[in-house]
């Protein structure tokens, strides 16, 4: 973690901010958690930090600065707010023109605008992968289950489709079964996409006794990699299993694996493969 002395963690929802906080605590790295009210996991209350409403951007930045942080990472799930009910402080009002202009351009544009505002405040913004490199997805097969050649063909097609839709800032996930695109992730998120896939007819998808199809997640071609990298966890594996999928694949060094050992154990139990593909592998003719 060379390059800064204390890390401020702007923490939204989900397990990823908790994993990072636990890592920082265990490694003795100085840190401060700025929790987003109503979204951050209650487990973060055990760590040094404060809680702020989503619109109190100035107060959040001031607290991180007062805590002595010279760098920040922005992680966790944050739902798009209803601006008519969002309580804003003065700093947030000043940021709103740039943020409003970005909101209509897609999630990546919005995240870039938020990142830019924090850089203007004098912080170095780092990716969670830089703060905790162990989270990065490795290449190759992770567990005991090996993908077949046919399944790897589904991985390749899904990866190409994900790159195509990602170029329009739509989503990061795609499910393909026997060459047929079943679902594409948009604003609903991966869990909801997997639930949707599980409701499709068995004639076009797999089942728990005859698994077929793969979920692929990879960064958008336009991705700002310091924020919102594709992420999988145990819940992803469980959703894929319920959908009858044969496996889950992510771009190596382009996705985050939350509690990787638990991911592998869950996949092995369910009989799913987990695979890290390289961009060269996915994009090869």
For the segment 82-115, what is each residue's pLDDT rounded down to a tens digit?
777 888 889 888 888 888 788 777 777 788 888 8
148 and 84 assigned to the same domain: no
For residue 262, being part of any structural domain is answered with: yes
170 and 261 assigned to the same domain: yes
For residue 149, being part of any structural domain is answered with: yes
At 80, which CATH number?
3.40.50.20
Q: Which of 131, 154, 182 is the last residue of a domain?
A: 131
pLDDT at 207 over 60: yes
Task: Read off the pTM.
Answer: 0.87
For residue 92, being part of any structural domain is answered with: yes
19 and 102 assigned to the same domain: yes
pLDDT at 1 over 60: no
For residue 2, being part of any structural domain is answered with: no
3-state secondary structure of 105: coil
At 256, which CATH number?
3.40.140.80
Question: What's the number of domains the chain is made of?
Answer: 2
pLDDT at 217 over 80: yes
227 and 259 assigned to the same domain: yes
For the segment 135-192, what is each residue's pLDDT rounded down to a tens digit?
999 999 999 999 999 999 999 999 999 999 998 888 899 999 999 999 999 888 899 9
127 and 183 assigned to the same domain: no
**Residue 167 and residue 190 in contact, taking contact as beta carbons nearer than 8 Å:** no
Give the range of the structural domain holding residue 153, as residue numbers without chain letter: 136-283
For residue 253, being part of any structural domain is answered with: yes
List the structure tokens of 274: 């987990």
For residue 1, being part of any structural domain is answered with: no
Handedness of CA 259, 265, 271, 274 (dihedral sign): positive
For the segment 20-71, what is each residue's pLDDT rounded down to a tens digit?
999 999 999 999 999 999 999 999 999 999 999 988 999 999 999 999 999 9
61 and 15 assigned to the same domain: yes
Sequence-distant (6+) residues with CB within 8 A of 258 are: 15, 16, 19, 135, 231, 232, 233, 234
206 and 118 assigned to the same domain: no
148 and 262 assigned to the same domain: yes
Q: Which of 99, 131, 163 is the last residue of a domain?
A: 131
140 and 278 assigned to the same domain: yes
For the segment 71-81, what is each residue's pLDDT rounded down to a tens digit?
999 998 887 77
d(CA 84, CA 137): 39
122 and 143 assigned to the same domain: no
* pLDDT computed for residue 142 by the predictor: 97
79 and 159 assigned to the same domain: no
157 and 227 assigned to the same domain: yes
Does an H or E element contain 18, and which? helix 16-27
């Amino acid at each position: 973690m060379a390059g800064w002395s204390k890390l401020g963690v702007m923490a939204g929802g989900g397990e990823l901010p908790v994993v990072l906080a636990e890592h920082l605590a265990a490694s003795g790295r100085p840190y401060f958690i700025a929790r987003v009210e109503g979204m951050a996991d209650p487990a973060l209350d055990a760590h040094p930090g404060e809680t702020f409403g989503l619109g109190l951007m100035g107060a959040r930045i001031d607290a991180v600065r007062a805590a002595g942080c010279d760098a920040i990472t922005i992680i966790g799930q944050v739902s798009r707010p209803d601006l008519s009910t969002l309580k804003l402080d003065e700093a947030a009002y000043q940021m709103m023109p740039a943020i409003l202009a970005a909101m209509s351009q897609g999630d990546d544009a919005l995240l870039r605008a938020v990142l830019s505002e924090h850089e203007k405040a004098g912080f170095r913004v780092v990716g969670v992968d830089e703060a905790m490199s162990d989270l990065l997805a490795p290449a190759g097969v992770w567990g005991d289950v090996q993908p077949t050649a046919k399944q790897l063909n589904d991985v390749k097609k899904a990866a190409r489709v994900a790159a195509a839709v990602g170029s329009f800032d739509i989503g990061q996930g795609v499910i393909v079964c026997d060459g047929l695109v079943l679902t594409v992730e948009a604003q609903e998120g991966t869990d909801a996409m997997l639930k949707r896939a599980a409701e499709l007819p068995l004639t076009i998808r797999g089942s728990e006794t005859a698994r077929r199809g793969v979920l692929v997640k990879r960064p958008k071609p336009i991705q700002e990699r310091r924020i919102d990298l594709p992420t999988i966890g145990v819940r992803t594996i469980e959703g894929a299993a319920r959908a009858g999928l044969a496996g889950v694949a992510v771009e190596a060094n382009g996705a985050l694996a939350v509690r990787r050992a638990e991911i592998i154990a869950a996949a092995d139990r369910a009989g799913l493969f987990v695979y890290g593909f390289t961009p060269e592998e996915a994009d090869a003719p």
